[in-house]
Amino acid sequence: MKLRTFLKVAAAGGLLLTLQAQAQTYPTKPITVIVPFAAGGGVDATARLVMTKLADILKQPVVIENVAGAAGTIGSLKAARSPADGYTLLFAVASPLNVAPLVAPSAVKYDTFKDFTPLATAAIGPFVLIGRNGLGAASTAELVKLAKAQPGKLNFGTDGVGTSLHITAELIKQRAGLDMVHVPYKSGPQVLTDVAGG
């Protein structure tokens, strides 16, 4: 879906929800978009790009509010508890909505299917496996060989326990028969900073 088409669909979806709820012109005030991850990460960067265009189309300010923590569930809970009036939106990925309820159901205090109404897909992006300089592995095959030669010695960082990145890494470990140590971070940018620093 092209960005312009997405924005029109998202704006129309918000308009329909709001008209049903309060029968007035939408929007009449600024819109808050909760990004349930830290500033500077991929989700945040995408939200800022998309929401700038949405503000232009709606002729109202769109304010990004980063509410990071617990694999996106803290920000998602804040969005779920906000009034259902179209003025608080959630810009999320699968981690807090689909993965967390399965991985840590007692920690998730919202119902993905009852508390949220999906509007549109904003972006699709691949996961990327990176390593520090000097790791001694220049491909996935070389990384698997290195990890098998040093069981329990290699670490991998993700943006938190139960996130899509964490589940994907665990799947790779399982399928390749690897023993590696998970290092959960509060946000993705922290992982990249540490990897870049060695």
* pLDDT of res. 5: 47
Domain architecture of the chain: domains with CATH: 3-115 (no CATH), 140-196 (3.40.190.10)
Sorting pLDDT into bands at 50, 70 and 90, what band is 163?
confident
Mean pLDDT confidence for 155-162: 90
H helices of the chain, where?
A: 3-22, 42-58, 73-81, 94, 100-103, 112-115, 140-149, 164-176, 188-196
Averaged pLDDT of the chain: 88
Chain segment 67-99, per-residue pLDDT in tens: 998 889 999 999 999 999 999 999 989 989 999
Q: Are 71 and 107 in contact (CB under 8 A)?
A: no
Structure tokens at 93: 């990925």
Q: Alpha-carbon distance 115 to 61, whole Å?
A: 24
Q: Alpha-carbon distance 160 to 148, whole Å?
A: 24
Phi then psi for residue 65, to 5 deg, are -120, 110
Q: What's the predicted TM-score (pTM) here?
A: 0.76
Residue with tokens 């991998």: 156
Chain segment 43-73, per-residue pLDDT in tens: 999 999 999 999 999 999 999 999 998 889 9
